[in-house]
Amino acid sequence: MADIEKFEKQTASEQTDLIQQYYKMQSRIYDATRWSFLFGRKEVIRQVPLSGDTTGSIVEVGCGTGINLQYLAKRFPQASLTGLDVSGDMIQLSQKKNRSIQDRLTLLEQPYARGDSPVSNPADLFLFSYSLTMINPQWSELIEQAYADLRPGGYIAVVDFHDSKRGWFKRHMSNHHVRMDGHLQPFLNKHFSPVHDKVHQAYLGVWEYLVYVGKK
Ligand SMILES: C[S@@+](CC[C@H](N)C(=O)[O-])C[C@H]1O[C@@H](n2cnc3c(N)ncnc32)[C@H](O)[C@@H]1O
């Protein structure tokens, strides 16, 4: 079955089950390994043009082990933060890592889904860091939900795999539940006005990754 067809057939609950299963083991080696290929995570947070003294609300969808929540807490020391993740194993690690900011951090073990908003007031910023390419085929619904959950003038920040000219690499990534077909960038640009929109090469072009900030 072509990889894209495999992704198109997944229901949201199948996607959740697969990811929860995948991160049971991967969560144990996540921070020790991902620094070597999840590039651009600090860059995307640096590029968000929100004031450092914002007291607004920031949501990370697929917060994983919580490394970006740490960066966000440092850059926005007065903002309230919410991290969502379907994997309880990842949420537990995030909890441990972010004890020092627990008074302004809410961690939710749940998928982000259309029509099921985790925020009671519109957010200032939504961050998706290497999560959208794993959320198949619901990624487009989630971008639209983030649009609905943002205040006017709020921002979406996305860092993720973009594309690769190497078929073997795309197949390898698809075995790790990642779709990389350059599909995020045009969809983001349809909904948001880009304030930062860069595609970078990794390892001399084995793959490309997208660093994107858009304004609602
Ligand atoms: C590659 S990790 C990225 C983690 C973190 N954002 C980072 O940059 O290190 C992808 C994360 O997205 C989470 N995830 C996958 N599907 C999800 C969904 N539908 N809703 C919320 N989180 C999801 C996974 O459990 C995993 O923790």
Residues 150 and 125: their CA atoms lie apart, in Å, by: 7
Q: For the chain, what are the domain ranges? A: 3-215
pLDDT in tens, the chain (216 residues): 457 788 888 899 999 999 999 999 889 999 999 998 999 999 999 999 999 999 999 999 999 999 999 999 999 999 999 999 999 999 999 999 999 999 999 999 999 998 888 888 899 999 999 999 999 999 999 999 999 999 999 999 999 999 999 999 999 999 999 999 999 999 999 999 999 999 999 999 999 999 999 999
Bridging pattern class, strands 123-129 and 150-163: parallel
Cβ(73) – ligand 1 distance below 6 Å: no
Residues 132 and 184: their CA atoms lie apart, in Å, by: 8
Nearest-atom number in ligand 1 for the CA of 178 is: 1
CATH class of 3-215: alpha beta
Cβ(47) – ligand 1 distance below 6 Å: no
Instruction: DSSP for 38-57, please give it.
Output: -TTHHHHHHT--S-TT--SE
Nearest-atom number in ligand 1 for the CA of 138 is: 19
Residues 72 and 181: their CA atoms lie apart, in Å, by: 28
Residues 148 and 162: their CA atoms lie apart, in Å, by: 24
Maximum CA extent, the chain: 50
Q: Say how far residue 21 (Cα) sits from the centre of its chain.
A: 19
Q: Structure pTM?
A: 0.96
Q: Say how far residue 209 (Cα) sits from the centre of its chain.
A: 13
Q: How far is the CA of 129 from the centre of ligand 1 (A)?
A: 8
